[in-house]
Each structure stands twice: as structure tokens, then as C-alpha cells.
């Protein structure tokens, strides 16, 4: 007789994924959750699975019928519910007993990983390769155990976004437990630093991705000194494929080298470009794949592979996306063994990820874009692209930086640098605006500010629906033809443009 599992907490990400893994592997599965069916966030992910569900109160028969019960990690062993369980089967048992039975590819980096993951999956689908999907509505794929469990669901391949909220150990755990066999790193620039102390501490969390792939294959942005420095420091012994973009650098900015010295990076995008460390000798390598003749207005470039020249056409904007697309083309070719012509067809029809340089409205001939950018490097990269493509614009800041005050200040300064007008819409940016105006009253011509709101930030969400709407309304009162709203709140509440 087939064994029957009872999973508690199927309205949470872990419980939901575990129930589906067990069912797909041929077991009988029952699920339960304290939520009602209407409140169950991920109820639809269970559609079509033939899992017996008990919402609200869990009946005693659930415990009687189950050969094994999977409790949520948060359930106390002293609780009444836990005491009803005869055979406990835990998250770790799922991870150990059910291995991913397919090739697994991981994507990490500070910025660009969602775009890269989405594009690589699109290329897979276009070529009848089915990636496993977590199907958890509005859930970021890199949180908690999602990538680890996702790789155990049905599919021909697993393409996983590996994030970090800056906690040491999390990336290594994901790489090892997801059985990632090759991966892509887009860039490593300052983010989440508040939690960790320094840029190098953060970089070393990202470096766990490299450590986890030792002896395997890794595709990296060769123009990022942090990535190349870490590969050297960790004595990475697998296969390295590097890529870069041939572009005249525009600024020189400092970046800490892994050796502790400071490098002057001739930047192409934030944190990446041409570099030479006078202390340890780290320098931009001759990359294996180089994008040349980049034509941003017509969204095309030439990509020189080790063997041929490809003509790449995109439907997305920006130099940072030339890096993203290049990394993904290599990944699709190396990991999924697809021919370049098939890959380029898919790239051409990729219109981007929602909330990334996304046009959300046109009001009285003025265009409104939103972008998820929420750290200084991300903000710089995106605003720089808008500047190159469109010239003048007004930036609405809805960010509350994860790096706290320093992050908020750096983001505000980037906005001032690139935009004609700045509208602070998050309480964090309004506090910075207030300070800036006290220091330099003449900035009142540029900063559109009246008072500091009392919004209390919630995780990375820096502003409310009303504040985003108010910020956009103020921006529409300027004479800019283009408005760019940055931050999670701007993308989350983008529908507010309908109410303006």
C-alpha cells in the first residue's frame, strides 16, 4: 500500500512545496492549514494535485490516517498539535530523501538576477524544455527554502534564482542542497550592507556560490573585479567562462578589492568595467565572450563567442541588459546545449520582467516608468540608462534602503546626479531631502519636497499606495516629459497611475 503523508501548513511556501513534491513522487498526500480556503495564499498551487485538504481546524482523522506527518519548522515540539503526531517527517528528510533528478542551474548576483532567470526560463520554454516552477503567486523565488524545494518538483531542468538577504551560510546551503551543477554570477556590488558590516563581508556571502560550485562550471561577468577577485582568492578549480561589454567607460569610481586595497574602476555599469589593482595585480581578463558595437537606441549588439560572431537583437533597454542577455546566451548554450540561432530568436522576443524599466502609463503626453531598483548600484545603473536613452527626467524615490541611512543617502545622491527633479515619496528619502535642503537651500529648485510622512517601513517596502500616488502627482507638476519611479513600492503600487 502506498504510504500516506500529512503535511501541516500547506498555505505556507515550504508546506505547499513539500506536499506537491511528495504527491509528484507517487505518495498519497493530505494537507492542512489553519487558514480558511479563501485566506490560503497558495491554494491555487495545489489545484490538480489530488491532495486531500483540510482548512481551518485539523480533524483527528488527519493524524490517524497519516503514516507520516510533516510539521512546519515553526511548530513547537511542546504544542498540542505536535503531540498528536506519531511519525514525524521533517523538511530535512524531504531534502535528503528526494534528490533533484534533473540538471540544475543557479543564477546569483546583486542586480539582474531576476531578469536573467526569467529570460533563461523563457528560452527553455521556447525550446520545449520544461523548467520546474514553484508556482507560488507573488513569491520571490529566492526566499528561504524555495529554490531547494523547487528543484525537487517535476521538470526537465531547474533554473534557480539564488538570492541572499545577507545571512552567512544561506547561499552555500542553497547551492549544495539544490545540487546546482553550474551557475551564472551577474555582478557583486554593495547591497544589504547594514546587516553585515562591510562590502567584503557581503561579497563573501555571495562567494559561497563560488565555493559551492568548486570543480564545476561557472559563467561570470569578467569586468567585475569583485567576482574575479573572489575566484582567485578561493582558488576556484572548475571551468570559468567570462563575459564583458566593449564600451568606452564614462566614470571612474572606487571599489574595494578582495585584497583590501582600493581599485579605481573605469566603469561601464556600476561596479563593473576596466580595473587594475596596484596592490595585488588583479586586472580585467581577456573575456571569452565580448559584446561589441552596442547600439542602445536600436537595441542590438554583436557578440563574439570564442568561435564566431553573433548578431543579437533585444526588446529590452540598457547597457546593464547587454550584460544580462550575454550571460544568459552563454548559459543557454552551455547548460541547455541549445544552438545559438534558437537562443537568439528567444532573446529577441523577450520583453522584460514586470517592474524592471516598465512603462506603466502615459498621462498628457508624459511617460511614467517604474523600476524595482532599491540599492545604490541598482539605482545608478537604471537612472544612467534612462539618462542615456531619454535625457531629462524626474525621479520619484519610493525606496527605504536595506542598508539604512547610508543606503538612503547614496540613493538620494544618485537620483540628484542623474535627474532634473527629485521627488522623495518614501519617508526615508524625505528625511534625506530635509537634510539636504537645510545644508543647501538652493536645491529647492530641484527637490520637490514639503514634509516628512510618518510611513513606517515594512521590510523593503518604503512607501504606501497614497505616497506613491502623491509622489507621481507632484512629478507630473514638473515640466519633465518622463517620470521614473524607483523602488519596491513604485512597482507594487503602480496601478495608482489609474487614479491620477
Residue 228 binds to Zn ion (criterion: CB under 5 A): no
Three-state DSSP class for 371?
Answer: strand
Residue 280 binds to Zn ion (criterion: CB under 5 A): yes
Residue 36 binds to Zn ion (criterion: CB under 5 A): no
Residue 261 binds to Zn ion (criterion: CB under 5 A): yes
Query: Least separation, in Å, of the C-beta of 108 and Zn ion?
Result: 22
Residue 443 binds to Zn ion (criterion: CB under 5 A): no
- The b-or-e profile of 34-58 (16+ CB within 10 A means b, else e) is ebeeeebbbbebbeeeebebbbeeb
Query: Least separation, in Å, of the C-beta of 383 and Zn ion?
Result: 29
Q: Cβ–Cβ contacts within 10 Å for residue 96, how many? A: 10
Q: DSSP per residue over 177-232, as a string?
A: HTT--EEEE----S-SHHHHSSHHHHHHHHHHHHHHTTTSEEEEETT-HHHHHHHH
Query: Least separation, in Å, of the C-beta of 89 and Zn ion?
Result: 49
Rank residues 245 and 257 by Cβ distance to Zn ion and give the closer one.
257
Residue 257 binds to Zn ion (criterion: CB under 5 A): yes
Q: What is the largest CA-CA distance in the chain?
A: 79
Distance CA 64, CA 32 (A): 14
Number of residues written out for the chain? 500
Stretch that binds Zn ion, among 125-133, 256-264, 336-344, 480-488 (CB under 5 A): 256-264
Query: Least separation, in Å, of the C-beta of 283 and Zn ion?
Result: 9
Residue 188 binds to Zn ion (criterion: CB under 5 A): no
Stretch that binds Zn ion, among 251-259, 303-311, 425-433, 478-486 (CB under 5 A): 251-259
Residues linked to residue 70 through DSSP beta bridges, in sequence order = 7
Stretch that binds Zn ion, among 57-65, 250-258, 354-362, 386-394 (CB under 5 A): 250-258
Residue 282 binds to Zn ion (criterion: CB under 5 A): yes
Report the half-sphere exposure of 390 (CA within 13 A, side-chain side): 23
The three cell numbers locating residue 316: 529590452
Residue 322 binds to Zn ion (criterion: CB under 5 A): no
Residue 200 binds to Zn ion (criterion: CB under 5 A): no
Query: Least separation, in Å, of the C-beta of 111 and Zn ion?
Result: 23
Q: Which of 87, 237, 279, 444 binds Zn ion (CB under 5 A)?
A: 279
Distance CA 239, CA 242 (A): 10
Query: Least separation, in Å, of the C-beta of 241 and Zn ion?
Result: 23
Residue 452 binds to Zn ion (criterion: CB under 5 A): no
Stretch that binds Zn ion, among 16-24, 62-70, 252-260, 309-317 (CB under 5 A): 252-260
Q: What does DSSP say about strands 289-295 and 300-304: parallel, antiparallel, or unpaired?
A: antiparallel
Rank residues 224 and 317 by Cβ distance to Zn ion and give the closer one.
224
Stretch that binds Zn ion, among 132-140, 273-281, 384-392, 430-438 (CB under 5 A): 273-281
Rank residues 233 and 358 by Cβ distance to Zn ion and give the closer one.
233
Distance CA 382, CA 277 (A): 27
- Contact between 484 and 386 (Cβ < 8 Å): yes
Q: Which of 143, 176, 259, 443 binds Zn ion (CB under 5 A)?
A: 259
- Contact between 122 and 350 (Cβ < 8 Å): yes
| C-alpha radius of gyration, the chain, whole number | 24
Query: Least separation, in Å, of the C-beta of 171 and Zn ion?
Result: 23
Contacts of 365 (CB under 8 A, 6+ apart): 481
Residue 120: closest CA among 189, 188, 184: 184
Rank residues 234 and 259 by Cβ distance to Zn ion and give the closer one.
259
**H or E stretch at 492:** helix 488-492
Query: Least separation, in Å, of the C-beta of 278 and Zn ion?
Result: 8
Residue 277 binds to Zn ion (criterion: CB under 5 A): yes
Stretch that binds Zn ion, among 100-108, 281-289, 424-432, 451-459 (CB under 5 A): 281-289
Binding site residues, Zn ion, CB under 5 A: 257, 259, 261, 277, 279-280, 282
Amino acid at each position: 500500500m502506498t504510504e500516506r503523508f500529512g503535511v501541516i501548513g500547506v498555505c505556507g511556501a515550504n508546506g505547499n512545496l513539500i506536499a506537491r513534491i511528495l504527491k509528484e513522487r507517487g505518495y498519497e498526500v493530505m494537507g492542512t492549514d489553519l487558514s480558511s480556503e479563501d485566506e490560503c495564499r497558495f491554494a491555487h498551487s495545489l489545484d490538480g494535485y489530488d491532495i486531500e485538504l483540510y482548512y481551518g481546524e485539523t480533524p483527528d482523522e488527519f493524524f490517524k490516517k497519516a503514516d507520516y506527518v510533516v510539521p512546519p519548522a515553526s511548530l513547537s515540539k511542546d504544542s498540542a498539535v505536535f503531540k498528536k503526531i506519531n511519525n514525524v517527517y521533517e523538511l530535512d528528510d524531504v531534502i535528503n530523501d528526494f534528490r533533484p533528478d534533473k540538471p540544475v542551474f543557479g543564477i546569483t548576483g546583486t542586480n539582474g538576477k531576476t531578469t536573467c532567470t526569467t529570460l533563461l526560463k523563457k528560452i527553455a520554454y521556447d525550446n520545449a524544455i520544461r523548467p520546474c516552477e514553484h508556482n507560488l503567486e507573488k513569491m520571490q523565488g529566492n526566499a528561504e527554502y524555495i529554490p531547494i524545494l523547487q528543484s525537487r518538483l517535476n521538470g526537465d531542468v531547474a533554473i534557480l534564482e539564488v538570492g541572499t538577504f545577507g545571512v552567512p551560510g544561506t547561499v552555500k546551503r542553497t547551492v549544495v542542497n539544490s545540487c546546482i551543477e553550474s551557475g551564472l554570477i551577474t555582478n557583486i556590488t554593495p547591497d544589504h550592507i547594514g546587516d553585515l558590516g562591510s562590502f567584503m563581508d557581503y561579497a563573501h556571502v555571495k562567494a559561497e556560490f563560488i565555493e559551492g560550485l568548486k570543480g564545476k562550471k561557472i559563467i561570470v561577468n569578467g569586468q567585475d573585479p569583485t567576482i574575479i577577485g573572489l575566484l582567485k582568492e578561493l582558488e576556484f578549480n572548475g571551468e570559468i567562462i567570462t563575459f564583458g561589454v566593449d564600451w568606452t567607460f564614462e566614470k571612474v569610481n572606487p571599489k574595494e578589492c578582495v585584497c583590501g586595497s582600493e581599485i579605481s574602476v573605469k566603469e561601464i555599469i556600476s561596479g563593473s568595467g576596466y580595473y587594475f589593482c596596484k596592490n595585488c595585480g588583479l586586472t580585467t581578463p581577456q573575456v571569452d565572450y565580448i559584446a561589441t558595437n552596442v547600439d542602445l537606441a536600436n537595441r542590438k549588439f554583436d557578440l563574439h563567442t570564442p568561435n564566431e560572431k553573433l548578431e543579437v537583437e533585444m526588446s529590452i533597454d540598457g547597457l546593464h541588459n547587454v550584460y544580462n542577455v550575454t550571460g544568459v546566451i552563454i548559459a543557454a548554450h552551455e547548460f541547455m546545449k541549445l544552438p545559438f540561432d534558437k537562443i537568439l530568436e528567444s532573446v529577441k522576443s523577450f520583453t522584460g520582467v514586470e517592474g524592471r524599466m516598465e512603462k506603466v502609463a502615459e498621462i498628457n503626453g508624459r511617460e511614467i516608468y517604474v523600476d524595482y531598483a532599491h540599492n545604490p548600484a541598482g539605482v545608478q545603473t537604471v537612472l544612467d540608462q534612462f539618462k542615456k536613452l531619454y535625457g531629462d527626467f524626474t525621479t520619484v524615490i519610493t525606496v527605504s534602503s536595506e542598508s539604512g541611512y547610508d543606503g538612503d543617502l547614496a540613493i538620494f545622491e544618485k537620483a540628484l546626479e542623474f535627474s532634473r527633479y527629485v521627488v522623495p515619496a518614501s519617508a526615508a528619502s524625505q528625511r534625506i531631502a530635509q537634510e539636504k535642503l537645510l545644508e543647501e537651500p538652493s536645491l529647492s529648485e530641484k527637490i520637490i519636497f514639503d514634509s516628512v510622512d510618518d510611513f513606517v517601513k515594512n521590510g523593503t517596502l518604503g512607501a504606501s499606495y497614497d505616497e506613491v500616488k502623491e509622489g507621481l502627482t507632484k512629478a507630473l507638476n514638473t515640466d519633465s516629459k518622463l517620470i521614473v519611479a524607483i523602488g519596491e513600492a513604485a512597482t507594487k503600487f503602480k496601478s495608482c497611475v489609474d487614479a491620477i
